Amino acid sequence: LKPNLALKSQIACVEVNCVPVRPLSITDNDHFTVKDNNEFHLEGERRYVQRGDPANITCPVFGYPTPGIKWTKDGNPLELNEKVSLQGIAILISEADYQHAGLYTCEAINEYTAAGKTSKPLIVIERILDVKSMFNISAEF
């Protein structure tokens, strides 16, 4: 990814790791696009887990002030239960099953003021989780 001149003030890329120069940043090496001046989208790599194994899906963002993070699964609010929990920037699945397969989306936003202008950059990260059985049968999204 090579930023054009319009993006140069907002994004710095080193090899394939891109981070916005603003207080909210991401570090990942997957498909990254800029939707507008304050909205950044990252299509994370597909994750595979064997049925019954633990899995975690991270939202690799950091910033100052600390960004607010919202998770969804398949476009709906993430439902937490005895097998699915949140720990910091990660979703932890204690024993993956077929119903855990799907598209997980993390939205991270923070608000800051610099030079008298308030900005609210939004980073959207999507990750697909596929759950496979020990017989290589999978529930793919």
Q: Note if the bond before 23 is cis, omega within 30 degrees.
A: no
Tokens standing for 135? 């017989």
CATH architecture of 44-135: Sandwich (2.60)
Q: Give the position of tokens 């054009």.
A: 4
pTM listed for this prediction: 0.71
Write out the H or E segment, with its range, that includes residue 127.
Answer: strand 122-132
Following DSSP, what letter does each residue of 60-116 receive, concatenated? -EE-SSPPEEEEEETTEEPPP-SSEEEETTEEEESS--GGG-EEEEEEEE--EEETT
Predicted local distance difference test score (pLDDT) of residue 141 = 58
Return averaged pLDDT per consecutive 10 residues of the chain, 141 residues in all: 33 36 44 74 90 94 87 97 95 96 95 84 92 73 58
